[in-house]
Amino acid sequence: MAPMEGLTDFTYRNAYEKTFGKGRITKYFTPFISPNKSENFLAREIRDIDRGHNKDTYTVVQVMTNEAKDFIWTAKMLYEKYGYSEINLNAGCPSGTVVSKDKGSGMLRDTEKLDRFLDEVFEDAFIRENIKVSVKTRIGVEDDDSFPQIMEVYNSYPLEELIVHPRVRTDYYRNELHLDAFRYAVDNSRNKLVLNGDIFTRKNFLEMKEMFPEVDTFMLGRGLIADPGLINVLTDDNPQAMVRDLNADKKLMKELHDLVYAARTAIMPGDTHAIHRMKEMWCYMEYVFDDCKKEIKAIKKSQRMADYKAAVDVFFNKAMLVERKNIIFSKKF
């Protein structure tokens, strides 16, 4: 499961594992944490990585920094204090405020600097002996011309895995995937590859499997948020023929929602913040239901918990879950 800020915190990860995951998600990635000068984690970061909140899932902490020394002390603390032995470097975030600081996908501007970063990380004896390091990357900043050089850097190090989102930074989450670039990665990577990007439906998954039969690991974010039951298709022995029980999936989606709602309202004071966080889920889930425009509008308009809960109950009583062949998210990214 991909890291999605504001969505896939421990409340969602645990609820998903209990309802749909059931051991079939190999790894859950936390939304990134950013090392700071105090060399301490923020309260919300501590809450998300707390072992008590992650005891039922294999969780990988994602770290965003362009300073090797900060990555190293963060990895050491995560290992020694919280028991994490696998850390992921975020080299893909397209946010303007992130990229302007040469973090996230901004790291891809300068392959020599990226090389120095990874060299320093893997030169650290503690890292080599105790920490598995993976990278989640894009294929460039404005174009993919430098992707062969980026891949050359990654090939120089023993990454646990290389998760490739085949878009450039300026694509954000729009435009078509650069599948020719991902084919280059498949043909040239010395590290295990994971494909991330635009697997929202059974059709998307089967097309990727056919195009890249060598790839056996996929990372999904928006696809699983929108249609949590898609995991049943992805993990079936015959995903093309697997017949879904959409009524059962709908009931589980309500259970998933209620578990997340209960966990978030327990830690978020007041109605406004908690409702806002819950509405983020609906920006995706609404796409897999029919005849629900009125009910979705009521959910989005709600400002108080009582109104929100009532609108959600009406929605799940009336809306019909469907399996789409294609989903195009209209939310602006």
Scanning the structure block, which residue is given the tokens 């004071």? 269
In the structure encoding, which two tokens stand for residue 327, read together? 């989903």
The answer to whether 273 is annotated as binding is: no
Alpha helix ranges (H) inside the chain: 10-16, 43-49, 68-82, 96-99, 111-123, 125-130, 147-155, 179-188, 202-211, 222-226, 230-234, 246-267, 271-285, 293-301, 305-318
The answer to whether 221 is annotated as binding is: yes
Question: Would residue 93 show up in a list of annotated catalytic residues for this protein?
Answer: yes
Q: Residue 133 phi/psi, 5° resolution?
A: -115, 125
User: Which H or E run includes 192?
Assistant: none
The answer to whether 223 is annotated as binding is: no
The answer to whether 92 is annotated as binding is: no
Nearest to 253 by CA among 276, 284, 274, 275: 284
Catalytic residue of the set 1, 2, 87, 93? 93
Bridge partner list, 29: 60
The answer to whether 165 is annotated as binding is: yes
Whether the CB-CB separation of 204 and 172 falls below 8 Å is answered with: no
Give the residue numbers of the binding site for FMN: 62, 136, 165, 221-222
Q: Which residues line the annotated binding site?
A: 62, 136, 165, 221-222
Active site residues: 93
